[in-house]
Amino acid sequence: MHIVDGALSNPVVIGGAFAAAGGIAVGLKSLDIDRIPTAGVLSASFFVASLIHVPIGPSSVHLILNGLAGLLLGWAAFPALFVGLLLQAVFFGFGGLTVLGVNAFNIAMPAVLAWMIFGRLIGRGSPVQGAIWGGLGGAFAIAATTLFVAVSLALTGDEFLPAAKLVFFAHIPVMVIEAVLTGFAVLLARKVKPELFLKGSSA
């Protein structure tokens, strides 16, 4: 999902940087002192969760879980996921520096959208209903992310269109896995700590 330096045209890179800065600013505003530790710890747990490799047939995929991050953090998912991407680029060499804005937008905006659409539904009804909405949110976030990646590539030039399409179709299994895992994660959280999502939807 990471786009690297040099692949995108300058307008896309600059546009992405501005969009990401805007999203981060909104996210930071929603973080008062009391929520900084929560956001930090969750940001770290998403970083760790992204190292989990889930087997799928002969291969395996690693989790992204941006949908779940959005559902728990709302707008604060923007700076939290940005921090994760920054650390990945600096210490592991994933992604790039100038494209950090585009990458952050592509991953964090779907998280926020998932929260806007599904956030309220998760706390309602039975835990199983909440889990289904959560699963839909997880799948939606991955679908939107691949779509955003495809759009960033397509805006750069037509020659990337086939690659963009490929990215989308290659990620359909990832969407399914993320949906199932996010669903079960929400199910567990609803049962173990029901107040979690009630609080999240009011914040």
Partner 1 sequence: MAHVLEPKAKTLAEAGSDAPYGVIGDLDPRLRVVMACIFAITTVALTTIPALIAALATAISLLMMSRLPIRRTLKRMAMMDSFIIFMLVLLPFTMPGEPMFSVFGFPASWQGLWKAIEIGLTANAVILTLMVLVGTMEPVTLGHALHKLRCPEVLVHLLMFTIRYIEVLREEYLRLRGAMKIRGFRPGTNWHTYRSFGYLVGMMLVRAIERSERILGAMKCRGFSGQLILLQEFRMTRRDHRFAVLLGGVCVGLLFLDYL
Contacts of partner 1 in 80-99 (CB under 8 A)? 80, 82-84, 86-87, 89-98
- DSSP element (H, E) containing 55: strand 53-56
- Shortest distance, CB of residue 76 to partner 1, whole angstroms? 9
3-state helix, strand, coil in the chain (%, to 5): 80, 5, 20
Residue 89 phi/psi, 5-degree rounding, is -65, -45
Shortest distance (Å) from residue 62 CB to partner 1:
11
SS3 of 108-137: HHHHHHHHHHHHHHHCCCCHHHHHHHHHHH
Q: Is the CB of residue 141 less than 8 Å from the CB of residue 67?
A: yes
Q: Is 24 in the site for partner 1 (CB under 8 A)?
A: yes
Binding partner 1 by CB under 8 A: which of 19, 28, 61, 113?
A: 28
Sole window of 79-87, 108-116, 122-130, 139-147 interacting with partner 1 (rule: CB under 8 A): 79-87
Q: Which helix (H) or strand (E) holds 44?
A: helix 36-49
Q: Which of 20, 31, 144, 174 binds partner 1 (CB under 8 A)?
A: 31
* Cβ nearer to partner 1, comparing 47 with 117: 47
**In the complex, minimum distance from the CB of residue 144 to partner 1, in angstroms, rounded to a whole number:** 20
Structure tokens at 16: 């992405």
- Nearest-angstrom CA–CA distance, 34 and 21: 23
Residue holding tokens 């998280």? 111
Tell me how many residues contact partner 1 (CB under 8 A): 74
Site string for partner 1, 151-170 (x = CB under 8 A): ------x-xxxxx--x----
Judged by CB under 8 A, the residue of 121, 141, 182, 197 near partner 1 is 182
The least distance separating partner 1 from the CB of residue 120, rounded to whole angstroms, comes to 19
Indicate the DSSP class of residue 92: I
Residue listed under structure tokens 């909104």: 26
Residue choice 15, 26, 45, 117 for contact with partner 1 (CB under 8 A)? 45
Shortest distance, position 12 Cβ to partner 1, whole Å: 12
Residues 46-65 as x/- pattern, contact with partner 1 by CB under 8 A: -xxx-xx-xxxx-----x-x
Helix axes 66-73, 77-87, angle to 10 degrees: 140
Q: Residues, the chain, total?
A: 203
